[in-house]
Chain A
């Protein structure tokens, strides 16, 4: 296969985004540990039903609540209850690490977007072209990923499945995870309330944020497996400091 080297700006943005993604994953997990329950809609808390709850910290199903008191004298009234349980909460560094890493991701991501667009990187290397637009071609490329393969090149040009996956990650998953993250901010949604509309509310945005992060992690896993199968050392050298 034809071998084109990775451009220097691709290597450096890839490196920064990799590190910030790892920091975001670790800190995001720590934040989720403080409240491992996910909801749909505007609100959700320990006194309302959850979509599901993850057994990832001592906060899972903790029953440390005083007797709940209804706000109104009607059936099914929302209630108030005081918490008596000392929860796991490392959000002091968890949140600040998350947002610091997010700054690196967003700024580097913007540089990547602008350069990728104007340099022709997206057009020339990522957009499928001509004969690639066929299901047969997609299927044979897809199946070949499960066979023993060692002949792939170390830079562009990319295969069809590779192109489609990268486009999905760059133009869908990353924008989605960033926008749903911003939708959880009280100051940002005061200025841009449409964010709460398009993601169906604050807690829905949090749930979508979680699932898009999981999708990105699954991509990372598949990406690393493919990198390893097609020559780990060679690939790592090509995307970092190698020539």
Chain B
């Protein structure tokens, strides 16, 4: 006689996997993924984004290192927006700011905030300070460790009064480079507006006077030479990463 079972093993595995994926999906679907424009690679990027948001702890801190771990650090990408010979990243305003040792630099905070406005470095410093020795992981394959001091972005956004509907934050650099991150990374305690590297003012090739540090993503999200921070309710890709053929989310 055939043995009667409540459930076959195959069925048990199948049910288990289905319910696990249902749980995962329900955690992800609350988020709208970035547009893919029908590109299969961007669909893969979105899958990684959803899976990392669904499966990883969003409060976990990136590993912080010791002073003795600090390494040499290449300056790559745009290395000096004050250089008129490099047309793509040249900015007259930046050249003037640099000539005056960035005394007149101010960060503009705009968009979905109650009090948009300009913040000088002294204004920003009043909102908090964090020093972290972290690893910069470049998409090219190299990595470097440095000590960064800056103002955590979370308190800055709170001071500007972000509206509850706000979901994304865009960062614009004087080098015509821009990136955006979601609110989870924006409010991450290690996401800082860094003004100091290894105890000194930020060198020009590393984004003087203030750059972004997003420690839970790949290096190219950490915009240098910050000029504007724009809070939005809807997804924007100011780079643009996606239409240039790059992943918008780079947790991996």
Interface, chain A (partner B; CB < 8 A): 31-32, 34-35, 37, 42-48, 65-66, 68-69, 71-72, 78-84, 87, 89, 91-93, 95-97, 99-100, 103, 114, 118, 182, 184-191, 193, 196, 202-203, 206
B251 / chain A contacts, CB cutoff of 8 Å: 185-188
A206 / chain B contacts, CB cutoff of 8 Å: 141
Q: State whether B56 touches A99 (Cβ < 8 A).
A: no
Q: State whether A186 touches B215 (Cβ < 8 A).
A: yes
The verdict on B244 contacting chain A, using a C-beta distance below 8 Å, is yes
How far is B71's CA from A226's CA once the two chains are assembled, in angstroms?
Answer: 47
Q: State whether A46 touches B200 (Cβ < 8 A).
A: no
Which B residue sits closest to A84, measured CB to CB? B79
A65 / chain B contacts, CB cutoff of 8 Å: 74
How far is B40's CA from A97's CA once the two chains are assembled, in angstroms?
Answer: 9
B206 / chain A contacts, CB cutoff of 8 Å: 80
How far is B137's CA from A190's CA once the two chains are assembled, in angstroms?
Answer: 13
Q: State whether B73 touches A46 (Cβ < 8 A).
A: no
The residue among A34, A42, A182 with the most chain B CB atoms within 10 A of its own CB is: A42
Residues facing A in B7-22 (CB within 8 A) are 9-10, 13, 17
The verdict on B80 contacting chain A, using a C-beta distance below 8 Å, is yes
Q: State whether A114 touches B13 (Cβ < 8 A).
A: yes
Contact with A118, one of B13, B72, B79 (Cβ below 8 angstroms):
B13
Q: A68-B72, A184-B137, A186-B252 are in contact. List 11 more A-B contacts (CB 8 A).
A: A35-B142, A43-B71, A82-B74, A92-B246, A96-B42, A99-B44, A184-B252, A187-B217, A188-B251, A189-B63, A191-B56
Q: State whether A44 touches B142 (Cβ < 8 A).
A: yes
Contact pattern, B 43-78, Cβ under 8 Å of A = 1, otherwise 0: 111011000100011001111010001111111100
Q: State whether B198 touches A196 (Cβ < 8 A).
A: no
Contact with A43, one of B9, B143, B200 (Cβ below 8 angstroms):
B143
Which A residue sits closest to B56, measured CB to CB? A191
- Asked if A71 meets B215 with Cβ closer than 8 Å, knowing A35-B142, A99-B44, the reply is no
A118 / chain B contacts, CB cutoff of 8 Å: 9-10, 13
Q: State whether A35 touches B140 (Cβ < 8 A).
A: yes
Contact pattern, B 5-43, Cβ under 8 Å of A = 1, otherwise 0: 000011001000100000000000000000000001111
Chain B nearest CB from A20 CB (Å) reads: 11
Contact with A196, one of B60, B61, B63, B73 (Cβ below 8 angstroms):
B63
A100 / chain B contacts, CB cutoff of 8 Å: 40-41, 43-44, 47
Q: Pick 27 A–B contacts, CB within 8 A, sort by A.
A: A31-B141, A35-B140, A35-B142, A42-B135, A43-B145, A47-B71, A47-B74, A71-B198, A71-B200, A81-B72, A82-B79, A82-B80, A83-B74, A83-B76, A96-B41, A97-B44, A99-B247, A103-B47, A114-B13, A184-B252, A185-B251, A186-B216, A186-B218, A190-B215, A191-B57, A202-B143, A206-B141
Q: State whether B48 touches A99 (Cβ < 8 A).
A: yes
B145 / chain A contacts, CB cutoff of 8 Å: 42-43
| Number of B interface residues in the complex (CB < 8 A) | 56
How far is B79's CA from A149's CA once the two chains are assembled, in angstroms?
Answer: 62
Interface, chain B (partner A; CB < 8 A): 9-10, 13, 17, 40-45, 47-48, 52, 56-57, 60-63, 65, 69-76, 79-80, 135, 137-145, 197-198, 200, 203, 205-206, 215-218, 244-247, 251-252
Which B residue sits closest to A114, measured CB to CB? B13
Contact with B60, one of A71, A184, A190 (Cβ below 8 angstroms):
A190
Q: State whether B44 touches A103 (Cβ < 8 A).
A: yes
How far is B72's CA from A37's CA once the two chains are assembled, in angstroms?
Answer: 15
- Asked if A185 meets B252 with Cβ closer than 8 Å, knowing A92-B245, A96-B42, the reply is yes
Chain A nearest CB from B188 CB (Å) reads: 9
Chain A nearest CB from B199 CB (Å) reads: 8
Q: State whether A80 touches B142 (Cβ < 8 A).
A: no
B71 / chain A contacts, CB cutoff of 8 Å: 42-43, 45, 47-48, 78
B138 / chain A contacts, CB cutoff of 8 Å: 35, 45
A84 / chain B contacts, CB cutoff of 8 Å: 79
